[in-house]
Amino acid sequence: MEYAHILIRYGELTLKGKNRKQFTIQLQENIKEKIQDMPTVKIKRQRDRMYIILNGADPDPIIERCKHIFGIQSLSPAIRVVNDEEKIKEAALYALTSEPDVQTFKVTAKRTNKDFPIKSQDLNQVLGGYLLTHSDGYSVDVHEPDMEIRVEVRQDATYITSKNIQGLGGLPVGTSGKTLLLLSGGIDSPVAGYLTMKRGVKIEAVHFHSPPFTSERAKQKVFDLARSLTGFGHSIRIHVVPFTKLQQKISKEIPHGYSMTVMRRMMMRISEKIAEKEGILSFTTGESLGQVASQTMESMHAINDVTSYPVLRPLIAMDKEDIISISQSIDTYDISIRPYEDCCTVFVPDAPKTKPRLEKVKYFEDMIDFQEEMEETLAGIEVVRISQHSRQDKEFDDLL
Ligand code: ATP
Ligand code: MG
C-alpha cells in the first residue's frame, strides 16, 4: 500500500465549459515540462482532474514543483485501489496509521460511480467503524479532525487522500496569449509579470538601460528577476533596449518638467515596435495609481496616448505593502532591492510634472526630431533568453 499517485484539482478551470479541454491540455503540458527530468513519471488527464502516476518516484519534489504551476487549485498524494470494499478499507487504514501525530479523524466518502454498491453516506459509516475497530487510540471528530480521509469511488478506481495542499490557482500559462512586460529592476514590474502569468498569459520582456550611466550589474539584476519568473512558467526572452542616446536628447531638449513623460512615451513607442515584430498584442507594466509622478491619471493619459495597444496594469489598485508581500512570496523582493541605478532615475529631474498636459507634451515633442536616435536605438536592441537553470543565452536580433 502506498501513495503512488498525486491528484491534481483544477478549481476555476471547471467553470470554463467549452474551453476546458484546451486548458487541461495546456496544464498537462506545463506539468510535463516541469518534470521532464523524471521520465518514468506519467500524467493522466481526465475531464475534471489529473493524476500524476509516480511509478516509484519521490512525491515531495514533484509536489514542490506543482506549487509553482498556475491552474492547479489543490493537490493531494493519493492511494489508488480497485473498487472493492475490502481494498478501500485497507487503504483508509493505511492512510490513518501511516501519518504521525494523528489522534482524531473523519471519513468523507463520495461515490461518483453509481455501480458501486455502497452509498456515500453508508460508506462513511462502514469505513469509520472499520477504522475504529482496527486501530488503537484514534477517535472520530467530525468538526476539527487531525486528518480528513477522503475516499472517492470513481469509474476507474477509488482514490484515498488525507492531505490537501493548496496550489497557486489561476489559469495555465499559455492559455491567454502573450504580453510584453516592461521590466525594470524595481519591486513592482516583476510582480505585475507574475500576476499576468497567473491569468494564463505568456510573457516576453523589454528592459531599457542607459550604459554607461546604468551598470552591467543593473542589467544582471533584471535578468535575475526574469529568471525568478521563469519558475512559474517558461523561459523568457528579454529585449534589452540601449536607451542612452534618446534619454540624453530628451534631457537636453525637453523642458525638465516634461522629460519624464516624453521618456515614457518613447518607451511605449519602442515597446510597440517590438510587439508588432513579435506578434504580441498587449503590454504589462507595474504601475499602481498614485505611487509616483508618472502614475497619476494625467500622466497615464499622456503616456498611453502614443499607443492603441492595451496596457495591462495588474497592480493598479494595490497598496505597496501588498505588492511587497507578493514580491517576497515569489522571491523577487531581495533581487529588486539590490541598490543599482535605473535608467529612469539617472535622467529624470527631481520634480517631474505630476499633471502633464497632453497638448504641451505633444508641442514639445513636435519641436524635436528624434528619428535618428530612434532608429539607432531600435537597431541596437539585443535579445537575451533567460531559462530557469542556465545562464542567459544571447540571441542577436536586428529589429529593422
Ligand atoms: P517598478 O518597481 O516596476 O520599477 P516603479 O514604482 O519604479 O515601478 P516607475 O518608475 O514609474 O514605477 O515605472 C512604472 C513602470 O514602467 C514599471 O513598473 C515598469 O513596468 C516600467 N518601467 C520603468 N522603468 C523601466 C525600464 N528601465 N525598463 C522597462 N520598463 C520600465
Ligand atoms: Mg522603477
Q: Report the residue among 182, 272, 292 best suited for mutation to probe ligand 1: largest number of ligand atoms under 8 A from its CB.
A: 182
Q: How many other C-beta atoms lie within 10 A of the C-beta of residue 303?
A: 26
The answer to whether the CB of 207 is under 6 A from ligand 1 is yes
d(CA 315, CA 168): 18
Ligand 2 centre and the CA of 279: distance in Å?
Answer: 26
The answer to whether the CB of 295 is under 6 A from ligand 1 is yes
The answer to whether the CB of 188 is under 6 A from ligand 1 is yes
Phi, then psi, of 93 in degrees rounded to 5: -65, -40
Q: Which residues pair with 158 in a beta bridge?
A: 81, 153
Structural domains in the chain plus CATH codes: 5-166 (3.30.2130.30), 178-396 (3.40.50.620)
d(CA 153, CA 120): 9
The SS3 assignment for 75 reads: strand
Nearest CA to ligand 1 atom 7: 186
Ligand nearest to the CA of 188: 1
Phi, then psi, of 18 in degrees rounded to 5: -60, -35
The answer to whether the CB of 182 is under 6 A from ligand 1 is yes
Q: Report the residue among 189, 213, 300 best suited for mutation to probe ligand 1: largest number of ligand atoms under 8 A from its CB.
A: 189
**117 preceded by cis ω (within 30°)?**
no
Ligand nearest to the CA of 327: 1
The answer to whether the CB of 189 is under 6 A from ligand 1 is yes
Each residue's pLDDT, cut to its tens digit, for the chain (400 residues) gives: 899 999 999 876 555 666 788 899 999 999 999 999 999 999 999 988 999 999 999 999 999 999 999 999 999 999 999 999 999 999 999 999 999 999 999 999 999 999 999 999 999 999 999 999 999 999 999 999 999 999 999 999 999 999 999 999 999 999 999 999 999 999 999 999 999 999 999 999 999 999 999 999 999 999 999 999 999 999 999 999 999 999 999 999 999 899 999 999 999 999 999 999 999 999 999 999 886 767 889 999 999 999 999 999 999 999 999 999 999 999 999 999 998 777 667 677 667 788 899 999 999 999 999 999 999 999 999 999 999 875 555 554 433 3
d(CA 74, CA 248): 51
The answer to whether 328 and 336 are in contact (CB under 8 A) is no
